[in-house]
Structure 1
Amino acid sequence: MTMANRHVEVFTTGCPGCAPVVELVEDMAGPGCEVVVRDLRSDANAADRAAEYGLARIPAVVVDGELAECCRSGQGPTREGLTAAGVGRCG
């Protein structure tokens, strides 16, 4: 049985706190994760996508179309929060 791929989007602006989040997601993601980094400075669609998700803070991580709880709560992306969102379980 094959697990479906997870689609993980990391929204960034190149801020000092953004690079560690991108590294954390890439470190945690297994082979079944498709990780897309959306830089609001250079990705023309990133701002529209961020608005669709209602992002209020950057960096933010969206897993399979849903903003990770750690990002909704205002604490920002954490290893524990990303694990709870399914980033570490990418088959």
Structure 2
Amino acid sequence: MAQRHIEVFTTGCPGCEPAVNLVHEMAGPNCQVVVRDLRSNGDATAKAAEYGITRVPAVVVDGRVAECCTGAHGPTREGLSAAGVGRC
């Protein structure tokens, strides 16, 4: 199985922490999880702009913003599962 690349965009705020924890909880051994903090990493800001991310927390799986992260509700277990988190 190929390794899945998961990026979690955050600002380090208390509202983002549960999403980061959920991704880590769901990620399997073949998932590479990278947390990108927009406050302290200019590269993260540029990457978020590339993906069209306008709110955090947001999760990107293999270069695609998870559908659950495009609306107002943010990451959910069901949405992350549908995006492929947990199947790696």
Query: Shared fold by TM > 0.5?
Result: yes
Distance 2:6 2:53 in 1: 15
Unaligned runs of 5+ in 1: none
Q: Using the alignment, how far apart are the partners of 1:45 and 1:65 within structure 2?
A: 15
Aligned to 1:29: 27
Q: Percentage identity across aligned positions?
A: 72
Structure-1 residue corresponding to 2:15: 17
| Separation of aligned partners in 2, 1:78 and 1:87 | 11
Shift of 1:73: 2.7
Q: Aligned letter for 1:37?
A: V
Relative to the length of structure 2, the TM-score reads 0.96
- Give, in whole Å, the separation in 1 of the partners of 2:18 and 2:5: 19
Q: Distance in 1 between matches of 2:42 and 2:69?
A: 22
Amino acid at match of 2:12: G
Distance 2:41 2:80 in 1: 23
1:7-86 to structure 2, matched below 5 A, reads 7-86=5-84
Aligned residue pair count: 88
